Structure 1
């Protein structure tokens, strides 16, 4: 009797936690061999055998002579099947939808049978459900559908709480049965329409099968059917096609699985091993030992058209603390996995997904598992079609024997399941990546990721470490989006492993898609005082946004500017209608004598804009640029720059700027906003539309225009504390002067 049914076939979305209930696929049952009850008429057909050159049956059972006429040797198929290529299920029917009319009729007939007493004999039921069937194939389909949608599994019999129900009479009466009940009734129903059908006893290798337990010298535990169509035998298992069982709740859950209807023998042998090898229906017979040692595969493995790249061996032993699993996929497929440690006969300890590294491509998946301790582990692999919103399905399982674990900290959680680039990354617009391999090493704590793109994209990033909170994580990333390239500067403030996830979207799209997840190991972290400033946008440095706002040919294309002098000048070519504003900020400012806005001075020329920056103290600064133009009247964010200075600058501020400091205005002298007391200072200012200019302090000094339209003059600063104002009149009719700039008088030190 099966004592360890485990797991469910499908886990919703990211299978972060493995199921804890003993829920198993209905086709996992291995419980029928111990029943004392026998069918009224023996109808189990052994495979034919050869005797002195003639074919005879091993038992005088119900298979018609026509069903055995073509049998040669140990192969239960006809001469025609040997001379012609055997038909696969695809040859019989291209898609289950071709049976939609049959399936619908059977379901209607089933309701009719339920509602009318007396319609319970095999003959009556078969006649009703096969009405309208035009071929042997359609008749088999009708019988299959009726069994899968009408007969429930005998859960109490399976659990030993009652006598098993498996004779056709009992099954018809109770509408329940164990696997042999499905098989016997299927055979009898086929007999009614003249189809050759046999019951095939053997071993079922479903989710209840515990790897490492041998079936040798044990009675067969499962039963299914073989049916002959057009002289060729085909395999089906209505028991496993009917549903699943929740053992804990002792409840049958109907869940039709068409995979087990006329399954191709090469797939059927993965989970069904007949007592007589002839009923494998494959050219090369599979031994029971080989059958037991193969990787366990669910029906979803074949439905998703997966195959193994690694050896077909279910028990893996670690080498240097690591075991590798590799699958091939015919179509883009998303994968996930779950690792648990066996801590007894049944119980498992959840290991989650922090002890494996999965990488995927368009046609393959490789998973490297590093168990944290010695012992035996269960590995469950899940998959779903790429971009499917549906659940992940369990596709295969392994056991991993860890002989000697490697010593390392856990990998960071990865809710996206895979590492490296997404298998459809080229479809996302990413052509190449600067990071190669499974692991990126940050020896000095700083890295640069570059993604070459085939079209402009936007990107956002997520950095995860066990000691890194969300706010600090944002100070570790500086991203840039250019026309044909995405870049991200990464800082690692702690030792250990990090996950960097990349999300991209097209310009104009609303949702980002996970495009890559990189594993980083940092051995030399950066100083936490040297992280990037807070509040950076996804647009650092020049790129798609600066060009879109009318700014081009930047003096500093990269987002990070390092200065030893404590000053820099950022310039762009600009369209005539573009106006730029800038904001300088720093997370922790100690020099608070003057506001930070005084350390930025913008100069707008006809086709150029200049952002001059002086730093009052060492540290990491952010410069945010904002722009507006004739189409966008309000200032909007354009990009950010990061300015780093590790020397000890003590620059005085620029003069305070007022609203009339506009396009074409240039401050030539003095370039500082704090003037020495009781000194003469030369003023030279270009103000193209000014009609008059004065400097007003303790006295008034009129500036004179030169031929090049530069207003200049010698100004006495006066005592400390004086505020000098540069004022101008921009209209002949104006009776007042407007303040353009103001300067403080004091000690420049």
Structure 2
């Protein structure tokens, strides 16, 4: 019992001293991840019956923890497919969950199905992605945990009370904790036919916590990895919708701060955001029509003004280099 208590104290001290050092991909700008990526490519569709064997193969010859993590992460993203049928089943379970004895039994049964599908078919949902990455990391001495919370997309957790619907990972590298989402990095589900389209997206690897919080809200607030997380769940659920391009361009502090914006006919809205990444052009797209704007720049802050002269509901996208970054819904009375 004494040894366990000592271990808990050491872990608590470690978390306190390393949690809130702002951790992100830029910490490893000097690392060339091509070796790690090539290792991930060497073992396509490898069996998951012995995870330790796979972990050892993927990290052989890699000398730093961050390269080892990269190889494991890329393998998971590239070799595991998202199972939409399981997702729908999970969504229905979470929507009506009340933590009764029956709910707990159904969850256990569903989790067994998730892991069986993962091991046998290399298909899963977010829980399986996060679980597999954690287990691979554990076999090579890397601390990695599963973080449960709210994932926000164009189809989920837009307003309302919110439903915990997503899982991702936090990993400790060189004394600091980092956030990564192997599920969203692996690809996306095509909305019309519900087909999973595999397309690796590097935005979710060791992401900037300031951007990550815009569409990932953990149940345990310590996993925001922010020194001062002033974002409430209600604010999170009502923010503008952001896309992975916001990660690439390091877009932060958007204004307006809410997805739904109400104005009167002829009224102007000031659209603003911070960006720590170079880009060629920013524009607004209103109801599918691109409107070229001159964005004023002061430091990291970009701003422009758009008037709304037609009544009704308008969908407004912030575009950077012709890529969607943010979406608003503007109601004009």
User: What aligned pairs does 1:492-511 form with structure 2 within 5 A after superposition?
Assistant: none
Q: How many residues align?
A: 306
Partner of 1:207: 154
RMSD of equivalent CA atoms: 3.1
TM-aligned CA distance change 1:86 to 1:71, over 3 Å: farther
Structure 2 residue 44 is matched with structure 1 residue 107: no
1:204/1:271 contact within 8 Å kept: yes
**Alpha-carbon distance between aligned partners in 2 of 1:199 and 1:361, rounded to the nearest angstrom:** 41
Q: How far did residue 361 of structure 1 move? A: 5.1
User: What aligned pairs does 1:356-375 form with structure 2 within 5 A after superposition?
Assistant: 358-360=293-295, 364-370=302-308, 372-374=310-312
Q: How far did residue 256 of structure 1 move? A: 0.8
**Alpha-carbon distance between aligned partners in 2 of 1:152 and 1:67, rounded to the nearest angstrom:** 36
User: What aligned pairs does 1:705-744 form with structure 2 within 5 A after superposition?
Assistant: none
User: What aligned pairs does 1:365-404 form with structure 2 within 5 A after superposition?
Assistant: 365-370=303-308, 372-374=310-312, 376-384=313-321, 392-402=322-332, 404=333
**Alpha-carbon distance between aligned partners in 1 of 2:219 and 2:314, rounded to the nearest angstrom:** 30
TM-aligned CA distance change 1:299 to 1:232, over 3 Å: same
2:43 is paired with a residue of what secondary structure? helix
Partner of 1:590: none
Q: How far did residue 369 of structure 1 move? A: 4.2
**Alpha-carbon distance between aligned partners in 2 of 1:274 and 1:236, rounded to the nearest angstrom:** 13
Deviations 1:142-167 (A, max 9, x none): 11000110000002222349978864
TM-aligned CA distance change 1:329 to 1:282, over 3 Å: closer
Partner of 1:352: 288
TM-aligned CA distance change 1:399 to 1:156, over 3 Å: same
> When you count helix as a share of all residues, which structure comes out higher?
2
Pick aligned residue for 1:224 from 168, 177, 200: 168
**Alpha-carbon distance between aligned partners in 1 of 2:145 and 2:69, rounded to the nearest angstrom:** 13
Q: How far did residue 85 of structure 1 move? A: 4.9
> When you count strand as a share of all residues, which structure comes out higher?
1
Partner of 2:244: 299
Deviations 1:577-636 (A, max 9, x none): xxxxxxxxxxxxxxxxxxxxxxxxxxxxxxxxxxxxxxxxxxxxxxxxxxxxxxxxxxxx
TM-aligned CA distance change 1:303 to 1:166, over 3 Å: farther
Structure 2 residue 90 is matched with structure 1 residue 127: no
2:271 is paired with a residue of what secondary structure? strand
2:241/2:259 contact within 8 Å kept: yes
User: What aligned pairs does 1:278-317 form with structure 2 within 5 A after superposition?
Assistant: 278-285=222-229, 286-308=231-253, 310-317=255-262
TM-aligned CA distance change 1:186 to 1:401, over 3 Å: same
TM-aligned CA distance change 1:165 to 1:395, over 3 Å: farther
2:235 is paired with a residue of what secondary structure? helix
Deviations 1:467-521 (A, max 9, x none): xxxxxxxxxxxxxxxxxxxxxxxxxxxxxxxxxxxxxxxxxxxxxxxxxxxxxxx
Larger radius of gyration: 1
Deviations 1:238-280 (A, max 9, x none): 0011001113223111111111111122221111101111111
Q: Which has the higher contact order (CA 8 A, sep 6+)?
A: 2
1:159 is paired with a residue of what secondary structure? helix
Unaligned runs of 5+ in 1: 1-54, 57-64, 340-350, 385-391, 405-749
Partner of 2:99: none
1:166/1:184 contact within 8 Å kept: no
- The 4+ residue runs of structure 1 with deviation greater than 6 A are 65-68, 161-166
Deviations 1:13-39 (A, max 9, x none): xxxxxxxxxxxxxxxxxxxxxxxxxxx
Deviations 1:627-665 (A, max 9, x none): xxxxxxxxxxxxxxxxxxxxxxxxxxxxxxxxxxxxxxx
Structure 2 residue 10 is matched with structure 1 residue 69: yes
1:399 is paired with a residue of what secondary structure? strand
1:152/1:254 contact within 8 Å kept: yes
User: What aligned pairs does 1:595-634 form with structure 2 within 5 A after superposition?
Assistant: none
Partner of 2:117: 170
**Alpha-carbon distance between aligned partners in 2 of 1:136 and 1:68, rounded to the nearest angstrom:** 24
Partner of 1:45: none
1:154/1:177 contact within 8 Å kept: yes
1:143/1:189 contact within 8 Å kept: yes
Scaled by the length of structure 2, the TM-score of the pair is 0.80
Partner of 2:205: 261
**Alpha-carbon distance between aligned partners in 1 of 2:112 and 2:186, rounded to the nearest angstrom:** 16
**Alpha-carbon distance between aligned partners in 1 of 2:175 and 2:32, rounded to the nearest angstrom:** 22
Unaligned runs of 5+ in 2: 93-109
Pick aligned residue for 2:142 from 189, 192, 195: 195
